[in-house]
Amino acid sequence: MKKIVRPCGLHCIKINHFGVSFGEQVVLTDVNLHIHCGTLTSVIGRNGAGKSTLIRGILGEIPHEGNLEFRNTQDGKIRKIKIGYVPQKLQLEAAAPISVYDMITSFRSRTPVFLPSKKQRLRALEALEEFAAEELIDKKVGMLSGGELQRVLLAMAVMDDPDLLLLDEPVSGIDKNGMDLFYEKMKYLKEHHDLAVVLVSHDLDYVARYSDQVILLEETVVSSGSPWTVFSSPEFKRIFGGASYELKKEVFHEPHVH
Amino acid sequence: MSLMFTEFLRYDFVKIALVAMLLMTPMYGMMGTLVVEKKMAYFSDALGHSALTGIAVGVLCQWANSTVSMIGYAVVFALLLNQIRYREKASTDTIISVCASVSLAVGLAILSRGGNFSNYSSLLVGDVLSMTEDDLKVLAVLFVITVIFYVICVNSALAITIHPTLAKVKGYSVRWMENIFAVLVAVMVTFSIRWIGILLINALLILPAAASRNIASNMRQHLCLAVFFSVLCGFLGLFLSYFVNVATGPVIVIFAGVFYFATLIYSGVVRE
C-alpha cells in the first residue's frame, strides 16, 4: 500500500519578483506568489497572459528574473524544492515501442529499461495503482487515450514525492465525467500527499469549486486570493468580461486558511 | 553446408571480418534503437556523408591517417549540428540538409582536384575483408564503450526523447546527453566507413532497429530484436557476399531490408 502522508501545512513556496522577457517583449513582470503545501492553486487568465510561461519559468526551462524559495515555516530552513510536472501531451507516435513501464522506469529508476526488474515493476505498479492505471503498465504510451495518459503521467509525477506539482492545462480534451474525476483526484492528492498543486486552467467552473487560491494573471498578478475574491474582482470582470459568468456563492470552494 | 563453412573460414581475413561483424552489428543494432526513437536517422546519415569532407580535411592538412581526420571532422560536425538544432527554430530536417550538403560539396571539391576522386571511390562501398587485427582491437574498444554507454545512458536518452522538459525536471542533463550521444554515433559511423562504405553505413544503423520497431511492444523487445536482426544480417551478408563475390555492405543491407518489409507486413497482418 502506498504510504499516505498528510500535508503538514508547514512548508511554503514563495515566488519572488518573477519576470520573463523574450527579447524586447515582456511576458511576465514582478509576479509574486505564496503557496502553501496541501493547497490547490489555479492560474487563470486569457490566452497569452503568460500562464504557461510562468510554469516554464518555475520549471527552469526558460531564463527568468526573480527567484523561488522553498521554506519550512516553523524553523525557517530553506531547502531545495522537488518539482513534479505533468505536461499537456507527449510527442510520441503510436508505433513507438515504449511501454508505460519503460517510460516510468526511464524517468524514475537507474535500472536500464531493457533489464527485467521485479522490484522496479512493483514500484511502477504501486504508483499506477493510486490512479487506477495499473492495467496500463504494458501498453504502448503512444496508444493511450488522453485520460489514460494523464493518469499515467500523474502517477509518475507523484511517485517521486514532489513538494510542488505543476500541471499545464491538464484537462484539455477530456469530457465532463473525466473532468470531475480529475479534480476529485487533485483534491485527493493535496489531502493525502505532502505537496502543493499549481495548475493552469481554462475551466472556470472547476477552478471556482476546487481551488484554495486563484491567481489571475495578465503579465503580472492582477488579482489573487480565494476563488470568490478573485471571481468577484473588477479585474476578473474586465478580463473575462460580459462572458456572463454567473456567480453563485454556494458553489465556490471556501479554502481553509493556514 | 559444413563444407561451405570450412571453405568460408579458410582465410584469416575472413575470420577477422567475421569477428568484426560480430562486434559491429550488435553495436549498430543497439544504438540504432535510440537513433530511430530520437528521429535522428537523417542526422546519422549526414554524419556518414561528412566522412568524405573529413578525409578532404586530412588531405589538406597532409595528415597520414585519414581515419583520424574523418572521425575528428565528424565529431566536430555532429556537435555543430546539435548546436544549430538548439538555436534554430526552423525544421531540423532542413538545417541538417543544408549543413550536410555544404560540407559534402566542400569535401568533394577538395578531393576531386585534378580529377583524382577515383582514388577515394572505394570508400563509397567499403571492403570488410580489408580489416586488420589492429582495426579489430580498436573496434573491440569501441564496442565496450558503446555497451557501457547504452547501459548507463539508455534511461536518460529515452526520457529526453519522451519529453525533454520532464527529463530536465528529473535532473537529466539534456544538452550533455545529446552531445555525448551525437559524438558516439559520429565515431561509430565514421570508424566503420572503410568496411561498410559511406553510402550504406547509415542503413546498417537504421534498418535493423526499424525492423524491430515494427513488431516490438516495449524497449526490451526493441533492443533484443534490433540486435538479433543486425547480427543475423551481418552474418548472412558476409557469408553470401563471399560466395557470390559482391561487396558485403550492400548484401547486408539487402537482408536488413527484407527483414524490415517482412516485419512491416507481419505487423499489418497481426493488426488486422
* Residue ranges of domains in chain B: 1-29+199-272, 38-117+133-196
Candidates A90, A97, A160; nearest CB to B217: A97
pLDDT of residue B76: 93
Residue at A51 is within a domain: yes
CA–CA dist B179, B128 (Å, integer): 29
Chain B residues within 8 angstroms (CB to CB) of chain A:
37, 150-152, 154-156, 158-159, 162-163, 165-170, 212-214, 216-224
CATH number of the CATH domain containing A20: 3.40.50.300
> Mean of the per-residue pLDDT values for chain A?
85
Q: Which DSSP category does B197 fall into? A: -
Evaluate if residue A245 carries a pLDDT over 70: no
Q: In 10 A of CB A213, how many CB atoms?
A: 23
Among the ranges given (A104-118, B121-135, B156-170, B175-189), the one the predictor scored with the smallest mean pLDDT: B121-135
- Cβ-based contacts of A114 with chain B (< 8 Å): 154, 219-220, 222-224
Asked whether residue A89 is domain-assigned, the answer is: no
Report whether pLDDT(B9) > 50.
yes
Question: Poorest-confidence range of A21-25, A154-158, B20-24, B216-220?
Answer: A21-25
Residue range B78-137, pLDDT digits in tens = 999 888 877 766 667 888 888 889 999 999 898 888 777 787 888 888 888 888 889 899
Residue-by-residue DSSP string for B54-110: HHHHHHHHT-S-HHHHHHHHHHHHHHHHHHHHHH--S-HHHHHHHHHHHHHHHHHHH
Supply the pTM of this predicted model: 0.88
pLDDT of A18 higher than 90: no
Strands A11-22 and A164-168: unpaired
> Which whole number is the average pLDDT over A142-156?
90
DSSP state of B217: S
Cell 506568489 locates to A33
What is the widest separation between alpha-carbon atoms in chain B? 60
Q: Do residues A174 and A206 touch, judged by C-beta distance below 8 A?
A: no
Report which DSSP code applies to B199. T
Segment B182-192 mean pLDDT: 92
Query: What would the pLDDT profile of B27-37 be if each residue is shown by its tens digit?
Result: 999 999 999 99
Measured between alpha carbons, how far is residue B165 from residues A60, B9, B177, B254 in Å?
A: 9, 52, 14, 39
Report helix, strand or coil for B142.
Answer: helix
DSSP annotation of B38 reads: T
* CA-based nearest distance B36→chain A, Å: 9
Residue A114 lies in a domain: no
Task: Determine the residue among A53, A114, A117, A164 to mutate to test chain B binding: the one whose Cβ has the most chain B Cβ atoms within 10 Å.
Answer: A114
Q: Are strands A25-36 and A40-44 parallel, antiparallel or unpaired?
A: unpaired
B181 touches B172 (CB < 8 A): no
Hey, are the CB atoms on A113 and B224 less than 8 Å from each other?
A: no
One-letter amino acid of A78: I
Q: Please report the pLDDT score of residue B122 as a whole number.
A: 83
DSSP labels for chain A?
A: --------S-EEEEEEEEEEEETTEEEEEEEEEEEETT-EEEEE-STTSSHHHHHHHHHTSS--EEEEEEEETTT--B----EEEE-S-----TT---BHHHHHHHHH-SS-TTS--HHHHHHHHHHHHTTT-GGGTTSBGGG--HHHHHHHHHHHHHTT--SEEEEESTTTT--HHHHHHHHHHHHHHHHHSS-EEEEE-S-HHHHHHH-SEEEEEESEEEEEESHHHHHTSHHHHHHHTTTT----GGGS--PPP-
**Alpha-carbon span B245 to B241, nearest angstrom:** 5
Q: Measured on CA atoms in the order A124, A128, A129, A133, is the torsion positive or negative?
A: negative
What chain B residue is nearest to A58 in terms of C-alpha separation? B169
- Separation between Cα atoms, residue B150 and residue B153, nearest integer Å: 5
Q: What is the pLDDT of residue A248?
A: 65
Show the cell assigned to A228: 470568490
Task: For residue A25, tell me if it sits in a domain.
Answer: yes
CB A198 within 8 Å of CB A166: yes
Across the interface, whether the CB atoms of A61 and B224 are under 8 A apart is answered no
Phi, psi dihedrals of residue A214, rounded to the nearest 5°: -120, 135
- Please give the full DSSP string across B153-193, using - where no structure is assigned: HHHHHHHHHH-HHHHHHHT--HHHHHHHHHHHHHHHHHHTH
Q: Is A1's pLDDT higher than 50?
A: no
- Per the domain annotation, does A132 fall within a domain? no
The pLDDT score that the predictor gives to residue A247 is 62
Q: Which domain holds residue A218?
A: 8-82+168-176+203-258
Per cent of chain A over pLDDT 90 is 28
User: A97 and B154: CB-CB below 8 Å?
Assistant: no
Of the partner residues B156, B158, B167, the one whose CB lies closest to the CB of residue A98: B158
What phi and psi values does residue A198 have, to the nearest 5 degrees?
Answer: -125, 125
Provide ipTM, 2 decimals: 0.89
Q: H-helix or E-strand containing B139?
A: helix B133-162
Q: Is pLDDT above 90 for B140?
A: yes
- Region B128-154: mean pLDDT is 92
For A61, which of B150, B165, B222 is closest by C-beta distance?
B165
Rounded to an integer, the average pLDDT of A100-113 is 94
**What's the pLDDT at B219?**
95
Mean pLDDT of the residues in chain B: 89
Q: Assess whether pLDDT exceeds 90 at residue A198.
A: yes
The pLDDT of residue B207 is 96
How many other C-beta atoms are found inside a 10 Å radius of the C-beta of residue A183?
A: 22
Q: Are A156 and A104 in contact (CB under 8 A)?
A: yes
- A155 and A133 in contact (C-beta within 8 Å)? yes
* CA–CA gap between residue B54 and residue B66 (Å, rounded): 8
Please tell me if residue A212 touches chain B, with a CB cutoff of 8 Å.
no
Domain count, chain A: 1
